[in-house]
Structure 1
């Protein structure tokens, strides 16, 4: 099928980012938001056709892009799938594994694709690292470290309601959970901690997790909503048997190996990574190759995130079932990123 008309459901912050990406790809844009005030604002400043209800939008578009709070992903995506519409769903795929399974089953039953928007896989500084690991540049991954730090969202908003969002783990850490799994395979054990510093914060603002991958790699993940001044910082350190890749968003990225140091590709803007992501989803819908992230990947990342929440709440490590073979590397994607 040809993707010409895209309906974005949820016209807040991430919805506007997706709208920018689809606009860059030349799509005819439609929108819907359950909040009347959001629909009114969008009608004024986003330059797209805003619909009064979901049914109206579904009748008017080829593809639906869900960009709403986490606990609404499943019912909205399910309605679109049952209407025969391919769906792009912002991460996490759903709030529960049962909901994720229902969405995947509905996609298969309707014969239309379902994609989880895990944008980190489309960022050049991350995709190039994955290529290096897949090509054996650092040997077999042994220990990996990831950080993701930003400012706090609305202290009274849904992000802090664990029943609705899975908190900082479901919103922030899940990016690095997905990336770690992309590099080193499925996660079989999770131990996590949540921290809430003294002050007016509504819910935990820091999370730390240790992941054990099926092939033996260990990942250390840190996420924070406490970074001051509105800045955002990410980093990773990938240590293998033959070298290391070391990146921080506020420093010049390099690839370090035992023979020497090689410059890594420079990163691109935040927005263009979303455009690449949406372009790859569109190509798959139109009959092209499978994208680098699927609904099953989204479900797997969600399973690890929820296990991390359980571990933090109980103080115990959580074991996960093995659903993939140990790490064996995979095909590179950096060339695809550069040409998208």
Structure 2
């Protein structure tokens, strides 16, 4: 820098001014160019001039220094602002690299006013190099980040990928202009203790939680209980009211097959006397411990109904046989009476 200044001064004193002399204590004016050559290569120079009514600061020529651009320095030859020969600018750094603007330090855009920064893409970078890395917004500031927020028209926020929320709460609808109810925390999802995920935490959405769609696919579900039985897909601690329930189960038509071994009523009577319940039916103790499997119980009920039907048919057959026998006995009795009357 000192060499550049010395060269410039020498040039000004000897050649630059078309009128007057160099004034070290006041203003100096020239109608020509102010030009300084590189002491190490006189074919490279920089100049201050006018071109097409535009003030121009130019570095050029050929050889050493001709394409190195400008370096604006402060006290102690400290680089403040660097413009490379290819137009790349470095602030706080003499090596902007391939970036059109490379700033080493904090940047305040807008000063103390409410101004905008308009750009197409924003990428994060490493804290130790210019390699692309995570992007931090309002890092460690405790302040919110508003996306598309405004008084009149809101913009959408599109994410093509996963969304990770570092906090425990995920709030929805805080500024959507809709009825907020009496609760305004709007905690749609909450990562609760014991690694639980709560939907509509503490009933913040007082209108309820609606799950739509043609399908709702879940794994083990507990209603009215925090500890659903892992052996069942649905555990309900409370009453259930429904217009219809369809249970898929095996049926008991095997009772009517010819090879079915229908126990005799005598065998049933002995079993009841010994066990205090019907054969193939769970005992009271089993029901109290395990509950009632609706599908199996419906099958057992149908099995017993079909067995009762077979017993009724057997009794019907027996009754008809007895009726025939009674008719024969009555006929014999009538003949016996006639013979006795003849005597």
- Bigger radius of gyration among the two: 2
| TM-score computed with the length of structure 2 as normaliser | 0.20
Which has a greater percent of strand?
1
TM-score, length-scaled by structure 1? 0.20
Q: Which has the higher helix share?
A: 1
